[in-house]
Structure 1
Amino acid sequence: MNEHILFNLVDLAGTFAFAISGATAARRCNLDLFGILAIAYITACGGGIARDLCIGAIPPAGLSDWRYLATAVIAAMLTIVAYPWVERLTYPVRLFDAMGLGLFSVYGAHKALVFGHNAEVAILLGIVTAVGGGMARDVLLARVSIVLEKEIYASAALAGAALAVLGEHLHWPAVWATWLPILVCFVLRFLSLRLHWNLPRFGRDRGR
């Protein structure tokens, strides 16, 4: 498969997964149709828009390419129709978040490299792409973002982006440089949910 087509599919798949995550969260908050569509789109495209603004890809693909809006709307409508089935999944929002996290961390890092930025910038923008939309969703829904809690979330995106950058610098085959980092990020996030892995958390000073 052509590398350009492969990464486009990865980006759209991440958009679809994050849109389901956003739509599910919005549906739980009893938002109306417009609210669900808006949260789905912001969750799916917010991180990518921030990334594109940082690397000078103007106008951002999330705004200029109709496929992103269409993918987010389709995912949101499917979530509305199949909401009872989606809710039966364990951790439905976080499951689709984990899928989108891996896909976007890799694509974000790849796009930064394509635009001529170094490895550090690519890794950081891979993380921004992966967590930006979810943070915007949580702010709009008035809840503490997963990124700021003790869970392994941004750390998983960091692992995926770093491995993707390493693969491209070592000239791994496109399939390995793409799907292996995606899988590592998803598995790390998924296992952290199932096995309750957390980063260190520091409580208040009891002496006060």
Structure 2
Amino acid sequence: MLYWLHWIDLAGVAVFAIAGTLMAYKKHMDGFGVVVLASVTAVGGGTLRDMILDLPVFWVQDPSFFYVITAAAAVTILWLRRKETFPLKYLLFADAIGLAFFNVMGLQKALTYGASPFIAIILGTMTGVFGGLIRDVICREIPLVLKGELYATTCILGGAGYILCSTFGSSIPVAMFVAFSLTLSLRLAAMKWGWALPVFNPHDKITDE
């Protein structure tokens, strides 16, 4: 099982590296900026997860992750050089796929190393959102996780779907597929229809009184 989980992890890293490269293109960064942004987007969440779990950081143990980041960034750059425009939907779509991948992998790794279901859901969410959070902060953008549309909430609901599947006896691959599909579907739906969790009345005003 660890073998195919490794390949899924690599796929998630590749997708988030693409999202980081797209943001670097949007911000007109140079080659070094592309590498930095692709890397922090791809490994930021997993690094935080491993540190919290007191495990060796995954990319320190296996440099193949940076080979994948480099390849994904290079392919994305070549593709962008052939485009005359940059639709924002490319960045958002790549980010949504990476979010779903890393949410599932973070959750699964946390459970593998003995975390309770509740903590595993939290760590899965952190794995999914933290790389993109660092990327957006570096680029002086409002992080997607803090914007109105559902973002981190999709990871929580996807993680809950995984736990429910496991509770009712589903295999790990089935539970992971359900969690991935639920996270991705909710995020794409939130992007399309503007789903959000409103807290404040949009007409409220702050006064000095």
For normalisation by structure 1, the TM-score amounts to 0.91
Dislocated runs of 4+, deviation >3 Å: 84-90, 168-171
2:77 counterpart residue number = 80
- From 43, 47, 50, the counterpart of 1:49: 47
Q: Quote how far apart the aligned CAs of 1:102 are.
A: 0.9
2:36 counterpart residue number = 38
Q: How many residues are aligned here? A: 205
Runs of 5+ unmatched residues, structure 1: none
Any residues of structure 2 matched to 1:148-167 within 5 Å, and which? 148-167=146-165
**CA offsets per residue over residues 36-65 of structure 1, 9 Å max, x none?**
01100100100000000000112x002321
Q: CA RMSD in A?
A: 1.8
For normalisation by structure 2, the TM-score amounts to 0.91
Mapped to 2, the partners of 1:138 and 1:20 lie a distance apart of 14
The answer to whether 1:66 aligns with 2:70 is: no
Q: Quote how far apart the aligned CAs of 1:89 are.
A: 5.6
Q: Is the 8 A contact 1:110 1:165 kept in 2?
A: no
Provide the secondary structure at the position in 1 that maps to 2:11. Answer: helix
Q: Is the 8 A contact 1:122 1:165 kept in 2?
A: no
Runs of 5+ unmatched residues, structure 2: none
Q: Quote how far apart the aligned CAs of 1:87 are.
A: 5.7
Sequence identity percentage: 31
**CA offsets per residue over residues 119-169 of structure 1, 9 Å max, x none?**
111000000000010000011111110111111110111112222233334
1:10 counterpart residue number = 8
Mapped to 2, the partners of 1:194 and 1:127 lie a distance apart of 21
Any residues of structure 2 matched to 1:101-140 within 5 Å, and which? 101-140=99-138
Describe the shift of the 1:75–1:207 C-alpha distance in structure 2 as closer, same or farther (beyond 3 A). closer
Q: Quote how far apart the aligned CAs of 1:71 are.
A: 1.1
Mapped to 1, the partners of 2:40 and 2:138 lie a distance apart of 10
Mapped to 2, the partners of 1:70 and 1:207 lie a distance apart of 50
1:206 counterpart residue number = 205
Letter in 2 for 1:123: I
Of residues 187-196 and 132-141 in structure 1, the stretch that sits farther from structure 2 once superposed is 187-196
